[in-house]
Structure 1
Amino acid sequence: MKEIKAIIRPAKLLEVTEELHAIDGLPGVTVSEIKGFGKSRAQNAQDKIVYEMVELVPRIQLEVVVDEDMVEKVVSVIRKHAHTGTAGDGKIFVSTVDDIIKIRTNERGRAAI
């Protein structure tokens, strides 16, 4: 199993989530509002906010856990629909998930996705 974390522009959330929703068998997506900065330190970002003298840019973080055979499809959808071609489009991280436990049923592994 793999976890895909993507940091994208808030303006791209609807487009990306609609396309993810259309993927057959996708177990779900977690969406969080986040703030941060990248290599440019948010200096030239038009949507930056200043918090205690630190410039931050609002972004959305998507988290998805899928079987390995779905990773490329999910990554491809995010790359295509989050892309604007300008600095600050975001990042996608793919990591291995060792185990999952579904709290309600106590199922583990793939059954818990």
Structure 2
Amino acid sequence: MKHIKAVIRPEKLSDVREALDEAGCSGGIMVSEIMGQGNQKGIIQAWRGEKYQVDLLPKVMLDLVVKDEDLETVKKIIIDNARVGEIGDGKIFVYNVESVTRIRTGEEDNDAI
């Protein structure tokens, strides 16, 4: 099992979720609103004639745990639906998951996903 942590633009969240649903890969997903900075190093915004450096930009973080065989499919779906082609599109991190237990039923590992 793999834990996918994807940081994407907030405006791409609905596209990614719809694509995951259509592919049957959205058994469980956690979504968090975050602020972050990457290579982009923020943006310059103007307000009332003054320019301001905004260092931390709003992003959305998706957390999914998937079966090993679904990893590449889910990564491709996220990339295809979150990409704008500009700096700030986000990142995908993949971690190994040692164990999963569904609290309600006691099911474990792939049965718990």
> The TM-score by the shorter chain falls in which range?
0.7 to 0.9
- Equivalent residue for 1:19? 19
> Is residue 8–residue 60 contact of structure 1 (8 Å, CA) maintained in 2?
yes
CA distance in structure 1 between the partners assigned to 2:55 and 2:26 by the alignment: 35
Root mean square deviation, CA, Å: 1.8
Q: Per the alignment, in what secondary structure is the counterpart of residue 35 of structure 2? A: strand
State the Cα distance separating 1:25 from its structure 2 match: 5.1
**Letter matched to residue 100 of structure 2:** I
Consecutive unaligned residues of structure 1, counting only runs of 5 or more, are: 47-52
Q: How many residues align?
A: 106
Q: Which has the larger radius of gyration?
A: 2
Decide which structure has greater strand share. 2
Q: 1:84 to 1:54 in 2, by over 3 A?
A: closer
Consecutive unaligned residues of structure 2, counting only runs of 5 or more, are: 46-52
- Equivalence map 1:62-81=2 (5 Å): 62-81=62-81
- Equivalent residue for 1:60? 60
> Is residue 9–residue 82 contact of structure 1 (8 Å, CA) maintained in 2?
yes
State the Cα distance separating 1:38 from its structure 2 match: 0.8
Percentage of pairs with the same residue: 43
Q: 1:37 to 1:105 in 2, by over 3 A?
A: same
- The TM-score with structure 1 as length reference comes to 0.85
Runs of 4 or more off by more than 2 Å in structure 1? none
Q: 1:68 to 1:40 in 2, by over 3 A?
A: same
User: Which segment is superposed worse, 98-107 or 82-91?
Assistant: 98-107
CA distance in structure 2 between the partners assigned to 1:78 and 1:109 by the alignment: 23
- Equivalent residue for 1:40? 40
> Is residue 2–residue 95 contact of structure 1 (8 Å, CA) maintained in 2?
yes
